[in-house]
Amino acid sequence: MLTKKIFHSSIPSAYLPSYDDSNTQQELTDINQRYDDLLVGLQHRVDDLELTKQYIEKDSNVVNEDDWAKDMENQLMNARPQSLEIEDLEREVMDLQVRQ
């Protein structure tokens, strides 16, 4: 995480403009505040991206479970007897035994 701030004492005095100390300190305070605000904004965006990623993963899981449920439903529909006639039922049982 980015946490570096600019402090008045970290800048050599030779590079400071000829403002008095209070103006320079105020400018550095303003810069640090803008940096903090940007950091908070970026963290919110990262949090939003994480939530979006979790949503996509859950959505993908739901789609997979839906596909599985449809497959199971088709298998169950195919496993039901196609007729109530004894000859047809015997043939279906024989077919199932051959498949296994």
* 45-90 pLDDT per residue, tens: 999 999 999 999 999 999 999 998 998 888 887 777 777 788 888 8
Distance CA 74, CA 44 (A): 45
| Contact in structure between 64 and 37 (CB atoms under 8 Å) | no
In the chain, where do the E strands start and end?
Answer: none
- Of 29 and 93, the structure prediction assigns the larger pLDDT to 29
Query: What pLDDT is attached to residue 13?
Result: 56
CA 19 to chain CA centroid, Å, is 48
What is the DSSP code (8-state) at residue 84? S
pTM of the predicted protein model: 0.48
Instruction: State the average pLDDT for the chain.
Output: 82
Residue extents of the structural domains in the chain: 19-99
Query: What pLDDT is attached to residue 77?
Result: 79
